[in-house]
């Protein structure tokens, strides 16, 4: 896959994430965390089931080859969806997404630095400055 395609996919994911977060915030206010999380996962589960049937993308038999800890992705997804719904409903879309993104970046940098789940990437001075700028920017967005 070319770099431009990967970048476009990442941008599309970010746009979808912003929209999903706003939708979750509205549902959170009206029906609560559990119902909004259920709607998200039921809709996503139905969509991926249809895609797997249409595109015959069923590689479920290969799941047994994966390390045990990757199966925490579903649980982490529940935490992501629920936390976005709560934070956006209470702080607004900008502040909620900014906190979420900052926390993601900080943990991502630590995971890469220590190589917790594979190859590492050193947390050099430039990356530390970048993380510090994100933390400062997060503070500015959330305090307002």
Distances (CA, A) of 28 to 19, 37, 91, 103, 129: 14, 9, 12, 21, 35
- Is it the case that residue 57 has pLDDT exceeding 80? no
User: Encoding tokens for residue 85?
Assistant: 């719904």
Start-to-end CA span in the chain (Å): 40
Please tell me the number of Cα atoms within 13 Å of 100 on its side-chain side: 21
Domain count, the chain: 1
What confidence tens digit (pLDDT) does each residue in 77-91 have?
999 999 999 999 999
% of the chain beyond a pLDDT of 90? 88
How high does pLDDT run on average in the chain?
Answer: 93
pTM of the model: 0.83
Evaluate if residue 119 carries a pLDDT over 90.
no
Handedness of CA 96, 98, 99, 103 (dihedral sign): positive
Domain coverage including residue 36:
3-143
Binning pLDDT at 50, 70 and 90, where does residue 14 land? very high
């Amino acid at each position: 896959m070319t770099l431009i395609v990967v970048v476009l996919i990442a941008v599309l994911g970010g746009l979808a994430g912003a929209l999903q977060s706003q939708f979750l915030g509205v549902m959170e206010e009206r029906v609560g965390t559990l119902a909004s999380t259920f709607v998200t996962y039921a809709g996503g589960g139905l969509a991926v089931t249809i895609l797997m049937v249409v595109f015959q993308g069923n590689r479920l038999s290969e799941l047994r080859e994966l390390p045990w800890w990757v199966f925490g992705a579903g649980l982490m997804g529940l935490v992501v969806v629920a936390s976005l719904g709560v934070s956006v409903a209470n702080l607004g879309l900008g502040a909620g997404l900014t906190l979420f993104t900052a926390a993601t970046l900080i943990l991502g940098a630590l995971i890469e630095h220590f190589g917790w789940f594979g190859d590492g990437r050193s947390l050099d001075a430039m990356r530390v400055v970048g993380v510090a700028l994100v933390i400062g920017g997060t503070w500015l967005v959330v305090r307002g």
